[in-house]
C-alpha cells in the first residue's frame, strides 16, 4: 500500500473528488502562511502544483492562497493534529488532521477508532521513520529510478506500476531532491513529509478487509488529511 494509505477508488467518486479538493485547499492555506508567492515559498509552490494536477479551479487555488496569507476578511486557523493508534490486528496507524476545531476532531477520532485502539502521542510513531516522500512518474522510457535516486540525493525508493516511484529522503533534503528529479526523467506529483513503516504487517483475506474497512471509516472524517499505516503490500 506504500507509505500512505488511500481509499480504494476515491479518485473516481464525485464526493471523493470534493474531499480531495478540500484537503488540497487546506494544504495551500496552511502553506501560504509563510508567504503568498509560490516562487519564494517552496511548500506553497508544491501544494499549488498538486492542486493543478488534480484539476482544481484556478479561482479556488487563488482564494486558498489569499485566505492563508491573510488577504481576505475571514480568519481560519488550521492546526496540524496527529493521532496514533492501532487498527484491528494491531496494525499501527498515524493520522494527520488539519483542523480549525480540535475538540471536534478529537471527538471524531475517538469514534473512528472504536474498532481499533487510539493511543497516546508516541505510542506507535517509533514504528515508523519520518521522511521526505516524493511521488513521481517516469517521463522518459529510459528513466532509471535507482540512478535518479542516487544523483538527486534520495535515501531510498519504492517502485510501483506504470513508472510510478516513491522516492524517500531525509526531511531536510525534501525540496532539493524534488527539484532535482526532473533532470533525470521524473515528473514530481507530490512532495511532503510523512511516515514510512519500519516493519509493515502482512495480512490477507478477512483480516485485511477488516483493516481496510477501519481505514475507510477514519478517512471519512472531514478533518483527516493523511493516513499512514504499517501494512505491507
Question: Helix, strand, or coil here: 163?
Answer: coil
Structural domains of the chain, with CATH: 14-68 (1.10.10.200), 79-126+198-229 (3.30.70.980), 128-197 (3.30.70.980)
What tens digit of pLDDT does each residue of 111-170 get? 999 999 999 999 999 999 999 999 999 888 788 999 999 999 999 999 887 778 999 999
What tens digit of pLDDT does each residue of 122-138 get? 999 999 999 999 999 98
What is this structure's pTM? 0.81
Question: Helix, strand, or coil here: 89?
Answer: helix
- Give the rounded distance of the alpha carbon of 62 from its chain centre: 21
Q: Which three three-digit cell numbers place residue 168?
A: 524517500
Identify the burial level of 204 via C-beta atoms within 10 angstroms of its C-beta, where 0-12 means exposed, 13-18 middle and 19 or more buried.
exposed
Determine the pLDDT at residue 139: 86
Sheet bearing 186-197, strands edge to edge: 156-159, 164-169, 128-138, 186-197
What tens digit of pLDDT does each residue of 1-29 get? 445 656 555 445 556 677 788 888 988 99
Q: Where are the beta strands (DSSP E) in 102-152?
A: 117-118, 128-138
| Cβ-Cβ contacts under 8 Å for 176 (sequence gap 6 or more) | 153
Q: Which three three-digit cell numbers place residue 138?
A: 517516469
Amino acid at each position: 500500500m506504500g507509505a500512505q494509505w488511500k481509499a480504494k477508488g476515491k479518485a473516481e467518486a464525485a464526493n471523493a473528488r470534493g474531499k480531495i479538493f478540500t484537503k488540497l485547499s487546506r494544504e495551500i492555506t496552511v502553506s501560504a502562511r509563510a508567504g503568498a508567492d509560490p516562487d519564494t515559498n517552496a511548500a506553497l509552490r508544491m501544494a499549488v502544483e498538486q492542486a493543478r494536477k488534480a484539476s482544481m479551479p484556478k479561482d479556488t487555488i487563488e482564494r486558498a492562497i489569499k485566505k492563508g496569507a491573510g488577504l481576505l476578511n475571514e480568519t481560519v486557523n488550521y492546526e496540524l493534529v496527529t493521532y496514533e493508534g492501532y487498527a484491528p490486528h494491531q496494525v499501527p496507524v498515524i493520522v494527520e488532521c488539519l483542523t480549525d476545531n480540535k475538540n471536534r476532531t478529537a471527538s471524531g477520532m475517538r469514534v473512528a477508532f472504536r474498532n481499533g485502539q487510539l493511543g497516546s502521542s508516541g505510542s506507535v510513531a517509533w514504528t515508523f521513520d519520518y521522511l521526505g516522500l516524493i511521488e513521481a512518474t517516469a517521463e522518459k522510457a529510459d528513466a532509471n529510478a535507482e540512478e535518479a535516486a542516487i544523483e538527486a540525493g534520495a535515501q531510498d525508493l519504492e517502485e510501483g506500476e506504470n513508472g510510478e516511484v516513491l522516492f524517500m529522503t531525509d526531511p531536510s533534503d525534501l525540496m532539493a531532491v524534488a527539484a532535482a528529479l526532473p533532470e533525470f526523467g521524473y515528473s514530481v506529483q507530490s512532495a511532503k513529509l510523512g511516515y514510512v513503516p519500519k516493519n509493515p504487517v502482512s495480512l490477507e483475506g478477512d483480516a485485511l478487509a477488516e483493516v481496510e474497512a477501519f481505514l475507510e471509516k477514519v478517512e471519512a472524517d472531514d478533518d483527516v488529511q493523511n493516513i499512514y499505516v504499517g501494512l505491507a503490500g
